[in-house]
């Protein structure tokens, strides 16, 4: 392959395009109800989903969605509010309050159309009674630094929220609640995506307490009291308030990886799918994939290793980074400058954590260029500064918000030597 970096970027773009709400939403819209249609939603793709609804809905609609700062798009009838992610802010709290209020009071002939995508958990930051936004911010920051996987983080979040964990759907009863979801979580569990505001919650207060203890997180006193009291559990499977709820996945990581696989196959690569739900410490998974790539290099044919999922980063240093660049730093160190192997990893929402990049690229000469530039990949990785490594190499993948989110996409191209 003469230009592996260009093909890697094309694979990423194909994965993102497959999850574009303008492409994948319209065919999943429900039938028009006898009564009112109200659109509510949250997530990094919420605004683009709202616009896709407006472009395809036959009839009157109104509503409100909240998305991450920088992820808004113009809409005509559905209001778009922007708020902070991954640590919630007052704008998200206010928007979540308005969304919950709007859902309350709908009748049996009304339809609540809910648009949910990754990031919605932080954006729907309405605390349970007795808790403050500062309480939720403190717990959220601690969870983000702990290395806990997304399903565990969302168990805690649901039990600190007045809107997640099924509470939004319960507020809308007896209306029809039809949720369209873009999945960003391993396994595509609707109860985990954005902490499941319209889905019954099988988790418990006891599990939330255990997760905080597992990661040695001491919550604010009000949070500790709230979790210990366990006064009002989230709506559970079989709750009659949720009997008129229906959930549909309109885009998933597997669909996006399949789109990239078709492109890689057309380019002459034998595609191996490593899974769309990979988890674990980012740098460790990168090292494992580096060893796998070295083994595949002797196969005598061009091979593309594709994967998705959501890794974690345990923050111990004070550098700049994200899970995709940490994965790639671990991969590059494992490859040791091997010829014929190139890779990329990126978050399909366009933002790797809190930085301005989606991810980065690793090329066969990355370590050599790092040495020439005075960059020490191992030292930078130890300080959680993989962003600094790839920025110094001019190998960051910067595309801006993509207005969708099916989690991370990773590709390794192995050309025979």
Identify the band that residue 299 occupies on the pLDDT scale cut at 50, 70 and 90: confident
Residue carrying structure tokens 């997304």: 150
Calpha distance 261→65 (Å, rounded)? 33
Cα 381 from Cα 73, distance rounded (Å): 36
pLDDT at 362: 98
Q: What is the pLDDT of residues 346-361, one digit of tens each?
A: 999 999 988 999 999 9
For 392-411, write each residue's pLDDT tens digit: 999 999 999 999 999 999 99
Query: Average of pLDDT values for 232-253?
Result: 97
**pLDDT-based confidence at 1, cuts 50/70/90?**
confident
Q: Which domains does the chain have, with CATH numbers?
A: 4-14+254-414 (3.40.1480.10), 21-251 (3.40.50.10180)
Angle between helices 150-158 and 133-146 (to 10 degrees): 160
pLDDT at 298: 83
Using CA atoms, how far residue 311 sits from 149, 281, 353, 356, in Å, is 7, 6, 11, 19
The model's pTM: 0.93
In our burial notation (b when 16+ CB lie closer than 10 A, e otherwise), range 299-327 reads: eeebbbbbbbbbbbbeeeeebbbbbbbbb
Percent of the chain with pLDDT over 70: 100
């Amino acid at each position: 392959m003469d230009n592996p970096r260009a093909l890697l970027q094309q694979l990423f773009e194909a994965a993102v395009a497959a999850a574009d709400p303008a492409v994948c939403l319209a065919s999943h819209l429900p039938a028009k109800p006898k009564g009112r249609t109200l659109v509510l939603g949250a997530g990094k793709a919420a605004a683009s989903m709202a616009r896709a609804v407006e472009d395809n809905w036959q009839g009157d609609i109104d509503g409100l969605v909240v998305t991450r700062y920088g992820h808004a798009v113009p809409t005509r009838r559905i209001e778009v509010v922007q708020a902070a992610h991954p640590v919630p802010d007052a704008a998200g709290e206010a928007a979540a309050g308005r969304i919950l209020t709007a859902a309350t009071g709908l009748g049996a002939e009304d339809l609540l159309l809910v648009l949910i995508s990754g990031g919605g958990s932080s954006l729907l930051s309405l605390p349970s009674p007795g808790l403050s936004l500062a309480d939720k911010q403190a717990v959220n920051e601690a969870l983000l630094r702990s290395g806990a996987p997304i399903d565990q983080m969302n168990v805690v979040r649901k039990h600190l929220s007045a809107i997640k964990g099924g509470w939004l759907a319960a507020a809308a009863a007896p209306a029809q609640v039809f949720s369209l979801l873009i999945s960003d979580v391993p396994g595509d569990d609707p109860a985990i995506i954005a902490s499941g505001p319209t889905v019954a919650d099988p988790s418990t207060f006891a599990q939330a307490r255990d997760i905080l203890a597992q990661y040695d997180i001491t919550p604010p006193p009000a949070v500790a009291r709230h979790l210990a009291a366990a006064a009002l559990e989230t709506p559970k499977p079989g709750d009659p308030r949720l009997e008129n709820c229906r959930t549909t996945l309109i885009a998933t990581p597997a669909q996006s990886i399949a789109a990239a696989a078709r492109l890689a196959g057309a380019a002459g690569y034998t595609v191996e799918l490593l899974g769309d739900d990979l988890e674990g410490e980012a740098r460790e998974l990168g090292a494992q994939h580096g060893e796998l790539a070295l083994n595949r290099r002797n196969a005598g044919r061009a091979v593309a290793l594709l994967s998705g999922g959501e890794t974690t980063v345990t923050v111990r240093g004070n550098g700049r980074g994200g899970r995709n660049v940490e994965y790639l730093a671990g991969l590059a160190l494992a490859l040791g400058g091997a010829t014929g192997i190139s890779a990329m990893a990126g978050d399909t929402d366009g933002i790797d954590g809190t930085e301005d990049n989606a991810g980065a690229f690793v090329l066969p000469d990355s370590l050599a260029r790092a040495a020439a530039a005075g960059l020490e990949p191992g030292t930078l990785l130890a300080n959680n500064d993989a962003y600094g490594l790839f920025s110094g190499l001019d190998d960051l993948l910067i595309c801006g918000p993509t207005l969708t989110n099916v989690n991370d996409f990773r590709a390794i191209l192995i050309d025979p030597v």
